[in-house]
Amino acid sequence: MRPRVVMLLAFVIAAVAIGFTGARFTILPAPTPAVHDSLPPKPASYLGIFEPGAPPSYAPIEQFASAVGREPNLIGYYSGWAEPFPNSFADMVHRHGVIPFVQIDPTYADVSAIADGAYDDYLNSYAESVVEYGHQVVIGFGHEMNANWYSWGYGRVPASTFVAAWQHIVTLFRRQGADNVTWLWTIEADGPGTGPAADWWPGASYVNWVGIDGYYNSPSDTFDRVFVKTIDQVRGFTNRPVLLSETAVTRRADQYGNIVNLFEGMTKYKTLGLVWFDKDQMKQPEHQDWRIEGDPLAEAAFRLGVSGLTLVSTRPH
């Protein structure tokens, strides 16, 4: 058939389908079957860091790197809904050979409206900025959605609605040509207040990496206790590589032994690496201090752990 005839026929079929099903969500063309892996899924090759103040500043990252003897290759941060992509910060971290990793969270947004296309102007603008940036970016949406503490999470938004929103966002970005994105689907490690992770799975065509968030909250915590049950659950529905996308060891624990255990488990289970949450939350509900800096044993354990990593490099030549 001629191209115009094919397009017209497709439009008529889609319109009829909507009429019969009463579909609520905006229908976009499905993404191509091939997954757009922008970053190599090599085990033990990613060291990430979340530092308050970055963005906009790179100074907290330099301080962390000085403490642990290694510059990270991922910088994680959290973006509220409708915040633009920070191109100038991304350009700065790229000059350091570091990959920006953003969790775009639907704070104060209607997840069903995201799936329905109501926020497409914002998403198109964000995707255009990512395309303009032109280098590798890791993006997640609605992290820890299988837990009950966020407005987009378990018991608050139906899993099917979240899946529809995730698929809509990925499809929209790909239509804009944002093939420099590695899509990270991030769940909370299994525990109180979490639902079955598989319910939120959007399908392998929409995900490059799986992220798992989990913490060592007490001296008795181990990699097996914190992560293994969730890794086994994930392996039940996908073979996508796993990143420990938000983790840390409390200062109340045996930081040296627990940090060594974290890196040993990360290597044993062939995860991509980890993103350390380097923040003092003593005045927040968590009542934990996750920072490495200033604790000689924690710094020594971290230096030992990162010495065994062969990090993926994106430093400009």
Q: Is residue 20 part of a domain?
A: no
Let me know if residue 70 belongs to a domain. Answer: yes
Q: Which residue has the higher pLDDT, 283 or 268?
A: 268
Residues recorded for the chain: 317
Q: How, if at all, do strands 273-277 and 46-50 pair?
A: parallel
Q: What is the mean pLDDT of residues 204-211?
A: 97
67 located within any domain: yes
Q: Has residue 127 been placed in a domain?
A: yes
In a domain, 62, yes or no: yes
Compute the distance between CA of residue 1 and CA of residue 124 in angstroms, rounded to an integer: 31
Residue 279 pLDDT greater than 60, yes or no: yes
Q: For residue range 223-268, list pLDDT tens digits in order.
A: 999 999 999 999 999 999 999 999 999 887 778 899 999 999 999 9
Q: What is the mean pLDDT of residues 108-115?
A: 97
- Percent of the chain exceeding pLDDT 70 equals 87
Q: Provide the CB-side half-sphere exposure for 170 (13 A, CA).
A: 29
Domain count, the chain: 1
* Residue 146 covered by a domain: yes
Q: Is residue 286 one of the residues assigned to a domain?
A: yes
295 contact partners, CB below 8 Å, separation of at least 6: 251, 255
> Which CATH number goes with the domain that contains 121?
3.20.20.80
Contact 62, 289 (CB under 8 A): no
pLDDT above 70: residue 32: no
Q: How confident is the model at residue 317 (pLDDT cuts 50, 70, 90)?
A: low
Using one digit for the tens of pLDDT, what is the confidence trace for 175-193?
999 999 999 999 999 999 9
3-state SS of the chain: helix, strand, coil percent to 5? 40, 15, 45
Q: What is the distance between the alpha carbons of residues 303 and 198, in angstroms, rounded to a whole number?
A: 35
Checking if the pLDDT of 18 tops 50, the result is no
Tokens 């914002």, located at residue: 122
pLDDT at 51 over 50: yes
- Backbone CA torsion sign across 276, 281, 287, 290: positive
The mean pLDDT of the chain is 88
Residue 6, pLDDT score: 37
Counts for the chain of helices (H) and strands (E), in that order: 10, 10
Mean pLDDT of all residues in 130-159: 97
Q: Which pLDDT band, with edges at 50, 70 and 90, does 15 fall under?
A: very low
Q: Residue ranges of the alpha helices (H) in the chain?
A: 3-21, 59-68, 87-95, 111-115, 120-133, 159-175, 223, 229-235, 255-268, 296-306
In a domain, 66, yes or no: yes
What confidence score (pLDDT) does residue 35 get? Answer: 41
Residue 17 in this model has a pLDDT that exceeds 60: no
What is the per-residue pLDDT for 229? 97
In single-letter form, the type of residue at position 297 comes to: L
SS3 for 77-104 is EEECCCCCCCHHHHHHHHHCCCEEEEEE
164 Cβ neighbours under 8 A, 6+ residues apart: 25, 112, 115
User: Range of 236's domain?
Assistant: 43-306
Q: Quick check: 27 pLDDT over 70?
A: no
Mapping DSSP to helix (H, G, I), strand (E, B) and coil, where does residue 276 land?
strand
Structure tokens at 180: 């420099």
Q: What per-residue confidence (pLDDT) applies to 3?
A: 40
- pLDDT the model gives residue 31: 44
pLDDT value of residue 8: 37
